[in-house]
Amino acid sequence: MTVKPGIVTLRIPGPEHRARAREIVEATGLFRPEEVEIAEEVFESAALAPGTDYTPLGAFDEEGNLLGFACYGPTPCTVGTWDLYWIAVDPGAHRQGVGRKLAQWTEQRIAGEGGRLIVAETSSRGDYDPTRAFYEALNYEVAARVPDFYAPNDDLVVYIKRLGPPREIAND
């Protein structure tokens, strides 16, 4: 898809955007076929029932075309920790601030729900250098690295971002 610069609107996408979300994930060229399937499943689940397990956010151009999306949700068995499961932007919209807007809106929504920590996982492969630079530019910090996690010589890199001061938790 050719993407022209312009106004980007952020809103919750619907299930009708599932095929476009898949196209975006495939167009990045980063994901294995099984990862594309998982991204599509997570997106569809989030779009059908936002906030049940995941919440989707979409970035749309002036004509209503989906340029990118994020899916996030609370991490089970934690207090205020949230996972940023997916963030993907059409390569034609890279370097136009779409990913940054999605990430910032995600952070604002998580903070509004009482979130205090975001966890984002990515790969150590060289083709993920721009992804890691993206997180670092948004003040995410590397919290862990698991060697050979995804495949031999493909480490899991775990990024975190603290959203505010820790809150006291009452023990009953």
Asked if pLDDT for residue 5 goes beyond 70, the answer is no
Instruction: Report the percentage of the chain scoring pLDDT > 70.
Output: 92
DSSP letter at 163 equals: -
Counting the structural domains of the chain, the total is 1
Supply the pLDDT for residue 50.
84
Q: Is residue 114 part of a domain?
A: yes
Supply the pLDDT for residue 51.
82
Nearest to 40, CA basis, from 59, 54, 60: 54
Structural domain boundaries, residue 148 = 9-162
Q: Is residue 104 part of a domain?
A: yes
Q: Is residue 135 part of a domain?
A: yes
Strands (E), 24-136: 55-60, 66-74, 81-89, 117-123
Q: What is the pTM of this model?
A: 0.89
Q: Is residue 172 part of a domain?
A: no
Token pair 């299930």 is at which residue? 15
Nearest to 140, CA basis, from 82, 92, 95: 82
> CATH number of the domain that 121 lies in?
3.40.630.30
Q: Is residue 169 part of a domain?
A: no
Average pLDDT over residues 99-107: 95
What does the pLDDT look like over 33-75, one tens digit per residue?
Answer: 999 999 999 999 889 888 888 899 999 999 999 999 999 999 9
Q: Residue 172 corresponds to which amino acid?
A: D
Q: Is residue 168 part of a domain?
A: no
The span from the CA of 49 to the CA of 114, in Å, is 20
Q: Is residue 25 part of a domain?
A: yes
